[in-house]
Chain A
Amino acid sequence: MRLGNAFFLRWVIALLLAPLMSVTLSFSAAAYDSVDYYSEYSDFLQGVPDEIAKALPEEIYSDSTDEQLYAVREMTSFGYVEEYISELLMGDIKGAVGMFFSICALLVLSSAVSAIRKSIGGEGLAKSFDICALSLNIALILSFQMSVIKAVSGFLSRLTLLTNGMIPLISLLYVSGGNVAEGSAGVGALSLFISFCENVCGKTLLPVVAICISFAVISAFSPQINMCGLANTVKKSYTFILGLLMSVMALIMNLQTVLSSKADSLSHRAAKYAVSSFIPVLGGAVGDSLRTVAAGVEYIRGMTGTLAIIIIILLLLPTVIKLLLAKTSINLCVFFAGLLGLDSEMRLLGEVSGVYGYMLAICSICSVFFIYALTLFVRCSAQMG
C-alpha cells in the first residue's frame, strides 16, 4: 500500500513539473538564440571606425549568429589578413618613400650648397647661411612628423572609443553566462584602462614626443647646448612609469578575474545543488539545460570577443605600419645625413627615429592590454554550466 502511494505521489509531482520541463528543454534547444545580444552587438559595430567597417565582411552585420561566426572565421583566414596588410603597405609605402626622397633631396642640396658656400664669402656670412640651411632642413623634417603624430593621436582616441562601445556587449555576455562578479571585475578593469589610455597615454604621449623633438631642435640649432641627455631621461622615466602602471593594472585585472571567477563558480554550484535537491526528478534536467545555454553563451562570447580582437588588430595595423615605414625612412635619412657630413641634421633625425620607437611601443602596449582583457573575456567559461 505504502509502495503504491509513493508511486502515485511521484507521478503527481512529475505531472506538475511537466510544464516546467517543457519550458527548460525548449530553452536549451534554442541554445545561443536564447541570448538576445543583437542590439548591443549592432551598437558595438556602429562604433567601429569607418575605414575598418569598410574592410569587414558583409555577413558581420547579419542578425544570424551562424553568419556572424562565418564572417569572423573568414576574417581570421590568412588570405584576409594578407590582403589587408598588402593594401595598407601599398598606401603607406608611397608616403614613406615620398618622405624619404623629399628629406634626402633637401639634405643633398643642403650639403652641395654648403660646399659651394665654403668657397664664397666670410665666416659670418657662412654661419648665417648654415643656420638658414639647418632651419630649412628642420622645418621639412618637422612638417612630415605632424601627420605621423596625428595618426598616433587618432589611433588612441579611436581605440578608446571602440572599447567604450564594447562595454555593454561584454557586460551582457558576462551576465548571460552567469559570471556576474567576473563581469563586474572585468568591465571595471576595462573601464579603468580606457580612462587610463584616454587620460594618461592620449594626453601625455604627444606632449612627451613634442618635448623630446623640441629638445632635439634646440640641440640641432646650437650643438653646445646638449639637450639629448635630458630628452633621454624624460623618455626613460615616461616609459618606466607607463610600464609600471600597465603591469600593476594587468596584475590587478588578473587577480580580480581569478577571484571573481571562483566566487561565481561557488554561488552557481550552490544554486545548482539546491535545484537538484529540491526538484527530485527534473533537477538534473534543469542543470543539463543550463549547461547547454552556457555553451551557447560561450559560443557567442568566443565569436564577439574574437571579432573585437580582430577589429583592434585591424585598427592597430595601419598605425604600426605607418610608424614602421616612417621609422625606416628616417633611419635611411640618418644614414644619408651622416654620409653627407650633416651632423646636426643627423642628430635630429636620430632623435625623431627614437621618438617613433616610443610611439610604436605605446600604441602596441595599449592594444595588447585591450586584447588581453578581451582574451580573458573569451577564455572565461560560463559559470551557469
Chain B
Amino acid sequence: MNGIFLKGLGLCVVCLVMLAVQKSLRGEFAFAIRIGSTLLFSSLCISMSTPIIKLISENGSPETNKYCRIMLKALGVVFLTGICTDACHASGESGLADYAENIGKLQILLMSTPVFEEILQCVWEMLSF
C-alpha cells in the first residue's frame, strides 16, 4: 500500500484529535488548525497525483498536456477560492465570501477563454472547407 496514503489518513486522525482538544480549551485556534490541515492535505493530494500527471505529460499529445495543465490550474483556483470562501463564512463574512467566489469564477472563465477561442476556430475552420 502507498506510504503517503497511510500517512495522510494518520494525519487526518491527528488533525481531528487536535481540533477536538482545542475546541474544549481555546476555540479561536480551530480556524488556524483547519487552514493548516487544508494546506497539508492539498500538498499531499498534489504529491499523490504527480505520477498520474507525469504519465499524461509523457504519453499524451501536446494538446492533452496543455488541456490537463489548464484543468489542474482550474482545480487549484477552485481549491484556493474554496479555502478563502470557507474562511469568510467561518468568520461570518458571507458578503466577502461571495466576492471571493465571484473572483474565482471569473478567473476560471478567463482561463477557459483561449479554449473557447480554439473551439470556435475549429468550428470555423470546418465550415470554411
Contacts and interface: CB of A to CB of B under 8 A. Distances in A.
A101 interface: yes
13 contacts: A122-B85, A131-B112, A132-B70, A132-B115, A135-B112, A139-B118, A145-B122, A146-B122, A149-B126, A149-B129, A209-B126, A210-B127, A211-B127
Contacts of B85: 121-122, 125
A361 B1 CA distance: 51
A210 B129 contact: yes
B122 A142 contact: yes
Contacts of B118: 139, 142-143
B78 interface: yes
B32 interface: no
Interface string B63-76: 11001101110110
Contacts of B102: 124
B125 interface: yes
A30 B119 CA distance: 64
A122 B81 CA distance: 9
A338 B101 CA distance: 31
A136 B60 contact: no
Contacts of A131: 108-109, 112
A209 B79 CA distance: 39
B82 A105 contact: no
Contacts of B52: 109
B63 A101 contact: no
Given A121-B85, A136-B71, A213-B126, A143 B115 contact: no
A110 B75 CA distance: 10
Given A105-B56, A109-B56, A139-B115, A124 B101 contact: yes
B123 interface: yes
Interface string A99-132: 0011001100110010011001110111011011
B24 interface: no
A213 to B, nearest CB: 7
Interface of A: 98, 101-102, 105-106, 109-110, 113, 116-117, 120-122, 124-126, 128-129, 131-133, 135-140, 142-143, 145-146, 149, 153, 206-207, 209-211, 213-214, 217
Interface in B47-65: 52, 56, 59-61, 63-64
Nearest to B84: A121
- Interface of A, helix, strand, loop or mixed by DSSP: helix
B71 A109 contact: yes
B82 A120 contact: yes
Contacts of A153: 129
B123 A213 contact: yes
A214 B122 CA distance: 10
- Interface of B, helix, strand, loop or mixed by DSSP: helix
B67 A217 contact: no
Contacts of A98: 61
Nearest to A120: B82
Contact of B45 (A101, A116, A146): A116
B116 interface: yes
A75 B71 CA distance: 51
Nearest to B56: A105
A211 B124 CA distance: 10
The 3 closest A-B pairs by CB, nearest first: A210-B126, A120-B82, A121-B82
B74 A135 contact: no
A102 B68 CA distance: 10
Contacts of B75: 113, 116-117, 129
Contact of B67 (A101, A136, A149): A136
Contacts of B123: 142, 210, 213-214, 217
Contacts of B68: 105-106, 109
A121 B71 contact: no
A291 to B, nearest CB: 51
Contacts of B104: 121, 125, 128
Contacts of A105: 56, 59-60, 64, 68
Given A109-B52, A128-B109, 20 more contacts: A109-B71, A113-B75, A121-B82, A121-B101, A124-B102, A125-B81, A129-B75, A131-B108, A133-B71, A135-B115, A136-B70, A136-B115, A137-B67, A139-B122, A142-B118, A146-B125, A149-B129, A211-B127, A213-B126, A214-B127
A125 B81 CA distance: 8
B111 interface: yes
Contact of B126 (A126, A138, A206): A206
A121 B85 CA distance: 7
B34 interface: no
B78 A139 contact: no
A124 B77 CA distance: 13
B63 A102 contact: yes
